[in-house]
Amino acid sequence: MTLTILFAAGANRWPLWESPLRRALHQAGIAADLVTEAAPEAVDVMIYAPGGDTPADFTPYTRCKAVLSLWAGVERIVGNQTLTQPLCRMVDPGLTQGMVEYVVGHALRAHLGVDALSQTRWAPKIPPLAAERPVAMLGLGALGAACGEALACLGFPVLGWSRTAKDVPMIECHHGREGLRMVLEQAQIVVTLLPATPATENILNAETLSWLPEGATIINPGRGTLIDDDALLAALDAGRVGSATLDVFRTEPLPQGHPYWAHPRVTVTPHIAADTRPSTAATVIAENVRRLRDGEPLLHCVDRSAGY
């Protein structure tokens, strides 16, 4: 059986994805007609990323059995009432490795005090060992767990927090409001890798930031909505938070006049912490297409009620 697979992820992405997808589908033994245009009623599977030239109404896609997102975050599509097919988010080994490298790099930068090492006078300041620097990992999904385990391998005590109970090797796991306070009260470095949902919006706010030890570092490569920007700026100005490295924002690109750009304790990176890499993600897409063809459970299915 030949499947019609619609690449509905934007014309600008097609040149990057066509060859990796065709190769991965072939290697998986899938007979497929991979196209960028098709009659909606003929589409069996949709590969999707939101954008101006991608579908917003899924009602006409009556034969489509699954929508496979190229993105790890699905907040821009999960609430679409016309999308009744199974929705799978992207959990890609390349994306995960990129996130691990970003988080570990900036955690070590904060831990070693790299930004203060270039001085005009000889004034040695020896940092503590990693074992003396607790890290809070907010979010214990695939990305949070991988980053937490990598930091634990370097000797950092990692305290993990998630909305529901988790058990992750090498990480001391907590959940619930009391668990969040327990984790933040000990954390000298906080990494936020939670999904964007109503329950996680502004999880770092004036109250929760006040729980941190003075001078703690915030690293946010997750979602811009996780942080109350005004509260973080106030905490930075007061010295409650020592520094912040921010990769994601409520408005992107971050407006030129935003206070983050000029703040001496803030490092802005332009949403580069991790990206979906066609070379590795195409294999994930092909595996889900194979599972769909063979009647097996799909990987990384989104729980609509939870929003991720």
Q: How far is 187 from 24, CA to CA, in rounded Å?
A: 42
Please give the pLDDT value at position 65.
98
Tokens for 30, please give them. Answer: 């899938």
Structure confidence by residue, pLDDT tens digits, 71-88: 999 999 999 999 999 999
- Which residues lie closer than 8 Å to 177 by C-beta, 6 or more apart? none
Tens digits of residue pLDDT in 236-267: 999 999 999 999 999 999 999 999 999 999 99
Q: How many CA atoms lie within 13 A of 6 on its CB side?
A: 23
**What band does 1 get if pLDDT is binned at 50, 70 and 90?**
confident
pLDDT at 250: 97
The C-alpha atoms of residue 163 and residue 140 are separated, in whole angstroms, by 9
The rounded distance, in Å, linking the Cα atoms of 216 and 210 is 11
Reported as a pLDDT band with limits 50, 70 and 90, residue 205 is very high
Looking at residue 116, its pLDDT comes to 83
DSSP string, 132-163: GS-EEEE--SHHHHHHHHHHHHTT--EEEEES
Catalytic residue among 109, 250, 271, 291: 271
Q: Give yes or no: 106 in active site.
A: no
- Kindly report the pTM of this predicted structure: 0.92
Q: List the beta bridge partners of residue 267.
A: 245
In sequence order, the β-bridge partners of residue 216 are 241
Query: What residue ranges define each of the domains in the chain, with the CATH number in brackets?
Result: 3-92+276-294 (3.40.50.720), 93-268 (3.40.50.720)
Catalytic residue among 133, 174, 223, 300: 223
Give pLDDT tens digits for 4-24.
999 999 999 999 999 999 999
pLDDT computed for residue 51 by the predictor: 84
* Residue 271 designated active-site: yes
